[in-house]
Amino acid sequence: MEQRRRVGNRLLAALPPADFDLLAPHLLKVPLERDAVLVRSGDPIEQIYFPRSGTIAFITDMPNGQTVATAVVGNEGAVGMLSALDSSLSPMTAVVRIAGTALHISPTRFRAALSRSSALKNAVQTHAWALLAQFQHVAACNALHSVEARMARWLLHIHDQTDGNFLPLTQEALSELLGVRRTTVTHVVHKLRTLGAIRSSGRGLIEIDRPRLEAVACECYEVMRRRIERIVSPEEMKPPVHGAPVPKTPLIRDPLLAKAGEAPRGTRPHGVTGERPRGH
């Protein structure tokens, strides 16, 4: 029980002890190094990551080489867990944006535990709904709101997953989050600095003034935050009663969700690749 409380990932911590014990012998703690690529679009599944700290961005690679973030996850989520539903290749790239640590497990071990645990099936579904909520809101926000409001939203969302008011984000990382050129990022950073919402240094650190940043952000931040918190709340994540029949209906199979975040063939789990995503 004490080990389960110290696990650090909300999805894993919500599992009943017996269900967590199906995974525990196979979970390995690894560092998440800043800018490390955990998976590339089109790569096969190798590891499922459960962040304990830090922030990971899901990146969509466009045909013209441009990249844009569609979601970020911290200790409330996972990378690659939806591979339990489909062993196909990943449609997205997952990049560590704020360093931290994670527990990882092979998809084979995870699927073996999944076949024996309705609570684990519930955790997969919870994660899928949380990702879908982000995908939907980010798509709408990108279409309707200014780049300044969108940058404020991303910064607040990432700040929720980190300690302190300093975010180690380079202009290249911000460009990727927003799907805009670095010249646009420079302009937006200058505007937010003028408003007193952020202070930045030449070392890739952004210090935020949260109240002022919240004033700049669009309403999507608060709506998205509340929606995801509601999905991953202890009550919503409460697993089915042991002994209840496992639902025979498939879990979420949205094509954008069904294959999110698996590790590439030949990469190392410790430190992973450290390379930039394609398109940079």
Q: How does pLDDT run across 99-140, given as a tens digit for each residue? A: 999 999 999 999 999 999 999 999 998 888 888 888 888 888
pLDDT band at 262 (very low <50, low <70, confident <90, very high): very low
Instruction: Please provide residue 168's backbone torsions phi and psi, each rounded to the nearest 5 degrees.
Output: -80, 80
Render the burial of 213-234: b for 16+ CB within 10 Å, e for the rest: beebbbebbeebeebbeebbee
Asked if pLDDT for residue 260 goes beyond 60, the answer is no
pLDDT of residue 241: 52
pLDDT at residue 179, rounded to an integer: 87
What phi and psi, each to the nearest 5 degrees, are found at residue 247? Answer: -60, 140
Model confidence at 256, pLDDT cuts 50, 70, 90, reads: very low
Residue 121: closest CA among 273, 237, 1, 258: 237
Virtual CA dihedral for 273, 91, 136, 251, nearest 10 degrees?
-110
pLDDT of residue 154: 93
pLDDT at 271 over 50: no
Strands (E), the chain: 28-32, 37-39, 48-51, 55-61, 67-73, 93-98, 100-105, 166-167, 198-200, 206-208
CB 93 within 8 A of CB 41: yes
N residues, the chain:
280
Task: Report pLDDT for 234.
Answer: 63
pTM for this entry: 0.78
Which DSSP string do the residues of 111-172 spell out, in sequence order? Answer: HHHHTT-HHHHHHHHHHHHHHHHHHHHHHHHHHHS-HHHHHHHHHHHHHTTSSSSEE---HH
Q: Percentage of residues in the chain with pLDDT exceeding 90?
A: 46
| Chain-centroid distance, C-alpha 77 | 6
Average pLDDT value over all residues in the chain: 81
Instruction: Give pLDDT tens digits for 206-243.
Output: 999 999 999 999 888 888 888 878 777 766 556 545 44
* Residues 192-208 pLDDT 10s: 999 999 997 667 789 99
